RNA sequence: GGGCGUGUAGCUCAAUGGCAGAGCAUCGGCCUUUUAAGCCGUUGGUUAAGGGUUCGAGCCCCUUCACGCUCACCA
């Protein structure tokens, strides 16, 4: 049984009263001729464009939206409604509507209710385009009060927000209320949608085919992550939610689909943080006959295109820092980057033992069981990553942490792989794909050995993937990007929760 | 999972261990160009939950929960 607050009880009583008066609080149909923005544009055009010897034409409109503010002033009432385009002021006067209707508006309607209002546009004394209301109708009554947010416009023209819903937990749990009262949150998700549209446009234009591959997989792979498990009852089959798309997309290249991409959800059963959510949106593409250097060029063009589409330029401000996505981005070999930032030359340490000693000499303590590749990765995140503020490609990675990437010809310890870093975190990861089925099988075996101590991280052997490789896969470049992270950058949000409509949260307290 | 921090009215926040408060919102009035409208009045609380210390706990102690920051984990 729902427990109502005293404020809600008052509104429920109003709903009863409305029905007794014969007013349906939730009518089935609404009518509107203009959005708030369209009404203002039409009005301003009428003011400027009219024959010199005639007054401006009346602009009659029917608007619909949610009441966000209401100021009753005796025989006048001012209110603001908000629709998908913005806000617009309503003006109600007893002269036109009569005392009864204006009183009814003030008494029976509340902030949060949806209404439609018809009338003629005019300007108030202060110059604000306003609807002079001749009639109005309740469209949907709100039972629960919205968390009130008020905007004050100071003398200097700045907008100061008061009584904002700002508790991050509540905002995420009740995203509907957050969206209803915080316009910048709606804007974040419009930008996110625009960004995703831009990524698709870019890849479509470049001849990539959008595909969909299984989310429920009998064998997971393509990344080092712990999966979620589930079960198909009738088939009595254990299944995993995918941790990446990679192994399925590359099967498609075996099938002669030369350029494919997938934009969808990955699931990783790992910790939650400001840049990790258990389910997140991933973009992967695979490009036959290309290598990682071509992928690098396409990547910077794609991100720059998305940035241009969302923000109108190549430069953005992220958490107070100006970032410039104009291609070409800085390119830095991993060995050089680590040498510059840590003073350790990984080329001189070809074994894990030697490298561990060098790191220990710096006073750092990585996991002593780590492989050479893991130690290099440790150096990357410890020293290099925090310095990579402007978009940078770090390239040429250790082989043993890149089991699906192709080695550099003549350098068995290093693979053709790069990661894109921005604002000190990893944005994307790409490599020249390994297409030698014998080598691939060997890598899976090595990896099984390296990770034998840790069952959860162990990469299961995917026999069907190897079979596909044996049919032959063209040389290709592959790419993966955390789409939520790009959304964080382009909307200037520090936390992934702010760019997910419904981020994962713990069970609420009862 | 570890460390630090936060949690008080619908919203935003106060309150030396000593009567739980303010603004906005609600409700009742006044007001024909307001815009955080204003003015007068009114209502609203299991101080996140549970336990303890104390004559007395929002405040001190313990446990739990949620959130934030951070560390760890995260090819």
The least confident of A65-79, A90-104, A150-164 is A150-164
CB atoms within 10 A of CB A106: 15
Which pLDDT band holds residue A149 (cuts at 50, 70, 90)? Answer: low
Which pLDDT band holds residue A1 (cuts at 50, 70, 90)? Answer: low
Q: How far is CA A406 from the centre of its chain?
A: 31
At A161 the pLDDT is 65
Residue A228 clears pLDDT 90, i.e. is over it: no
Residue with CA nearest C1' of nucleotide B13 = A163
Domain range annotation of chain A: 6-146, 185-329+390-499
Distance from residue A398's CA to nucleotide B72's C1', rounded to whole Å: 23
- Output A450 or A23, whichever has higher pLDDT: A23
Helices A483-490 and A183-205: angle between axes, nearest 10 degrees: 120
Residue A170 clears pLDDT 90, i.e. is over it: no
**Closest nucleotide to the alpha carbon of A94, via C1':** B32
For the segment 140-199 of chain A, residues whose CB is within 7 A of strand B: 145, 147-153, 162-170, 172
Residue A162 clears pLDDT 70, i.e. is over it: no
At A386 the pLDDT is 83
Query: What is the helix, strand, coil percentage profile of chain A, to 5?
Result: 35, 30, 35
At A446 the pLDDT is 78
- Average pLDDT in the A81-106 region? 92
Which pLDDT band holds residue A454 (cuts at 50, 70, 90)? Answer: low
Residue A260 clears pLDDT 80, i.e. is over it: yes
CA neighbor of A397 nearest in space, from A281, A381, A243, A389: A381
Tokens of A162: 């008061």
Residue A187 clears pLDDT 80, i.e. is over it: yes
Mean pLDDT estimate for chain A:
88
Per-residue pLDDT tens over the stretch A109-133? 998 999 999 999 999 999 999 999 9
Residue A204 clears pLDDT 90, i.e. is over it: yes
Distance from residue A22's CA to nucleotide B15's C1', rounded to whole Å: 49
CATH class of A185-329+390-499: alpha beta
In the three-class reduction of DSSP (H, G, I as helix; E, B as strand; rest coil), residue A53 is classed as coil
Which H or E element spans position A22?
Answer: none
CA neighbor of A104 nearest in space, from A92, A116, A114: A92
Which nucleotides of chain B does any protein CB come within 7 A of? Answer: 1, 10-13, 23-28, 30-38, 43-44, 48, 65-75
The CA distance from A332 to A396, in Å, is 9
- Quote the CATH superfamily of domain A6-146: Nucleic acid-binding proteins (2.40.50.140)
For the segment 376-415 of chain A, residues whose CB is within 7 A of strand B: 377, 381, 397, 401-404
Q: What is the DSSP letter of A235?
A: T
Q: What is the DSSP letter of A384?
A: I
The CA distance from A14 to A25, in Å, is 9
Q: Are A261 and A208 in contact (CB under 8 A)?
A: yes
Percentage of chain A lying above the pLDDT 70 cut: 92
Per-residue pLDDT tens over the stretch A286-315? 999 999 999 999 999 999 999 999 999 999
- Average pLDDT in the A467-485 region? 95
Distance from residue A510's CA to nucleotide B53's C1', rounded to whole Å: 29
Q: Three-state secondary structure along A388-423?
A: CCCCEEEEEEEHHHCCCECEECCEEEEEEEEEEEEC
Residue with CA nearest C1' of nucleotide B39 = A73
For chain A, the C-alpha Rg in angstroms (whole number) is 29
At A510 the pLDDT is 32
β-pair partners for A322: A317
For the segment 72-101 of chain A, residues whose CB is within 7 A of strand B: 72-76, 78, 80, 89, 91, 93-95
- ipTM field: 0.82
Q: Are A360 and A382 in contact (CB under 8 A)?
A: no
The CA distance from A124 to A23, in Å, is 31
What dihedral do alpha carbons A401, A404, A409, A411 form, nearest 10°? 10
In the three-class reduction of DSSP (H, G, I as helix; E, B as strand; rest coil), residue A267 is classed as strand
At A157 the pLDDT is 60
Residue A508 clears pLDDT 50, i.e. is over it: no
Per-residue pLDDT tens over the stretch A2-43? 677 888 888 999 999 999 999 999 999 999 999 999 999 999
- Average pLDDT in the A190-219 region? 95
Distance from residue A453's CA to nucleotide B72's C1', rounded to whole Å: 19
Distance from residue A476's CA to nucleotide B71's C1', rounded to whole Å: 38
Per-residue pLDDT tens over the stretch A366-382? 777 778 888 888 888 88
β-pair partners for A73: A76
Q: Where are the beta strands (DSSP E) in A277-346?
A: 279-288, 315-318, 321-324, 330-333
Distance from residue A273's CA to nucleotide B72's C1', rounded to whole Å: 12
β-pair partners for A264: A282
At A509 the pLDDT is 36
Q: How far is CA A418 from CA A19, A127, A351, A372, A398, in A?
A: 65, 56, 22, 18, 11
Percentage of chain A lying above the pLDDT 90 cut: 55
The CA distance from A454 to A508, in Å, is 32
**Closest nucleotide to the alpha carbon of A459, via C1':** B75
Spatial strand order in the sheet of A237-241 = A216-217, A237-241, A229-232
């Amino acid at each position: 049984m729902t427990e109502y607050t005293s404020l809600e009880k008052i509104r429920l009583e109003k709903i009863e009263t409305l029905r007794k008066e014969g007013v349906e609080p939730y009518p089935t149909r609404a009518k509107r001729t203009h959005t708030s923005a369209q009404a203002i544009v039409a009005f301003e055009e009428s003011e400027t464009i009219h024959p010199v010897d005639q007054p401006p034409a009346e602009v009659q409109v029917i608007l619909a939206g949610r009441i966000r503010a209401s100021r009753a002033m005796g025989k006048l009432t001012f209110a603001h409604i908000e629709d998908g385009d913005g806000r617009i002021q309503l003006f109600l006067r007893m002269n036109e509507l009569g005392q009864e209707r204006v009183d009814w508006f003030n008494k029976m309607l509340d902030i949060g209710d949806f209404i439609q209002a018809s009338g003629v546009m005019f300007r108030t004394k202060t110059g604000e385009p306003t609807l002079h209301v001749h009639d109005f109708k309740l469209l949907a009554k709100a039972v629960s009060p919205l968390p009130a947010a008020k905007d004050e416009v100071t003398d200097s023209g700045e907008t100061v927000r008061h009584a904002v819903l700002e508790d991050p937990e509540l905002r995420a749990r009740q995203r509907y209320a957050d969206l209803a009262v915080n316009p910048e949150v709606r804007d974040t998700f419009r930008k996110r949608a625009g960004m995703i549209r831009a990524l698709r446009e870019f890849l479509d234009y470049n001849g990539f085919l959008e595909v969909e591959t299984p989310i429920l997989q009998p064998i997971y792979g393509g990344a080092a992550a712990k999966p979620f498990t589930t079960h198909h009852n009738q088939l009595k089959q254990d299944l995993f939610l995918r941790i990446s798309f990679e192994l399925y997309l590359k099967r498609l290249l075996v099938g002669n689909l030369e350029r494919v991409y997938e934009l969808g959800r990955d699931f990783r059963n790992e910790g939650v943080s400001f840049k990790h959510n258990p389910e997140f949106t991933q973009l992967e593409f695979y490009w036959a006959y290309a290598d990682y250097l071509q992928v690098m060029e396409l990547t910077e063009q794609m991100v720059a295109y998305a940035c241009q589409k969302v923000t109108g330029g190549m430069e953005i401000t992220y958490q107070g820092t100006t970032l410039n996505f104009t291609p070409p981005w800085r390119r830095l070999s991993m060995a050089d980057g680590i040498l510059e930032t840590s003073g350790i030359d990984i080329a001189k340490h070809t074994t894990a033992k030697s490298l561990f000693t060098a790191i220990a000499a710096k006073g750092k303590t990585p996991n002593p069981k780590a492989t050479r590749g893991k130690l290099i990765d440790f150096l990357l995140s410890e020293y290099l990553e925090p310095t990579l503020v402007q978009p940078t490609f770090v390239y040429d990675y250790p082989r043993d942490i890149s089991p699906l990437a192709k080695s550099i010809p003549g350098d068995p310890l290093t693979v053709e792989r790069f990661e894109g870093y921005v604002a000190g975190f990893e944005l994307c990861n790409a490599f020249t794909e390994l297409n030698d089925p014998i080598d691939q099988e060997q890598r899976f075996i090595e990896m099984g050995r390296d990770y034998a101590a840790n069952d959860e991280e162990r990469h299961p052997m995917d026999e069907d993937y190897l079979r596909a490789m044996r049919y032959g896969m063209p040389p290709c470049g592959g790419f993966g990007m955390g789409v939520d992270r790009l959304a964080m950058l382009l909307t200037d949000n520090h936390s992934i929760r702010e760019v997910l409509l419904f981020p994962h949260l713990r069970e609420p307290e009862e």
